[in-house]
Amino acid sequence: MLPAVLSVVLAAASPSAAPEITVEAERLTEQQIEAKARDFIRDVLPIPAYGQYARWTQPVCPKVAGIADVYAAMVETRVRAAATAAGVPLAPPGCRTNLSITFSEDARVTAGIIARRKPRLVAKLDGLQQDRLFNAALPVRWWHVSEPTDDNGLPATSATVLMTTQTFGGQSLAESLPINPDTIMTGSYNSSLIDTNLKIGVTGAVVLVDIPLATGKPLDAVADYVALVALAPAKLPPELPGVPSILGLFGSNGGAAALTGWDKAYLAALYRIQLNRNANRQRGQLVGAIKASFAPD
């Protein structure tokens, strides 16, 4: 099935017959790297969840469906390889699936079916996210399920429940602090001005590959694209970064055919930043980590 719709390009050449190739690359200054890193995360990062950027905090268990087993294994292998390189926790074979990767003849229809059968999976997506997920013509579409926890990994509690049962100076917390129905509280506390006492962890994700719209792209390239958007929550669709990236695969210029140095630096940086910090601080940490990855040895 797959060879007819996704072209896997193989090239063989004799080393002795290969022409001499000269590669020229611009050496970027630290300031240029920092500027490009800021642009990259601005183009890719989605709106923060609960004021922070989420990432997988539990072992990822990917499962690929919709294509022959041999090709599914190829895709899973590349996803696991990208995760390992970035320091993403991985579950062993035989685990319970929490990252579902499906190749579909019509991904829009498949997304709608999943949403109707399991509405909880899309309940927290806003109107724009749902519109793009169910209606846009995208070669790859995805969404993540994230949950807030305290510093000890315990589920966060809705403020409307916690605050009405606790008092401060004889006054209900609900009366003394400004809250709204979406406010989240935890049972942990410290005096830090930067620690939010809250961590946003990805607990599940769905990635759908639209076979007709992905036709003509190498399977390895599609797998790397899937790996990046599955392991690092991203805008749907992401804006095309101004640096070499697999995210340009379906753009007018074709983009890279594999995860680039920028993609790998971004993934690794995401899994090094502190979770219990607000989005502004996390963006700063991301820029710093990406910049450091390009520093000369």
Coil/strand/helix, residue 208: strand
Alpha-carbon distance of 216 to 30, in angstroms, equals 37
Q: What CA dihedral angle connects 274, 278, 281 and 287, to 10 degrees?
A: 70
Confidence at residue 26, expressed as pLDDT on a 0 to 100 scale: 59
Confidence at residue 297, expressed as pLDDT on a 0 to 100 scale: 60
Q: What is the DSSP string of 127-141?
A: HHHHHHHHHS--SEE
Alpha-carbon distance of 51 to 196, in angstroms, equals 10
Q: Cα dist. 39→31, 47, 145, 200, 213 in Å? A: 12, 15, 26, 23, 28
Query: Is residue 63 within 8 Å of 226, Cβ to Cβ?
Result: no
Token digits for 6? 């996704």
Q: How do the domains of the chain map onto residue ranges?
A: 30-150+201-293, 153-187
Catalogue the E-assigned strands of the chain.
Answer: 55-56, 62-65, 99-104, 140-149, 157-158, 167-168, 171-172, 184-185, 199-210
Token digits for 148? 């807030």
pLDDT tens for the 297 residues of the chain, in order: 444 444 433 233 333 444 554 434 457 788 999 999 999 999 999 888 778 888 898 999 999 999 999 999 999 999 999 999 999 999 998 899 999 999 999 999 999 999 999 888 887 787 788 888 999 999 999 999 988 776 666 665 554 334 333 444 444 444 444 444 444 444 444 544 454 567 788 999 999 999 999 999 999 999 999 999 999 988 998 888 889 999 999 988 877 999 999 999 999 999 999 887 888 899 999 999 999 998 776
Alpha-carbon distance of 217 to 5, in angstroms, equals 9
Confidence at residue 147, expressed as pLDDT on a 0 to 100 scale: 82
Any residues with CB less than 8 A from the CB of 123 and at least 6 apart, and which?
none
Token digits for 25? 């690359």
- DSSP 8-state symbol, 101: E
Alpha-carbon distance of 263 to 38, in angstroms, equals 13
Confidence at residue 17, expressed as pLDDT on a 0 to 100 scale: 47
Confidence at residue 68, expressed as pLDDT on a 0 to 100 scale: 97
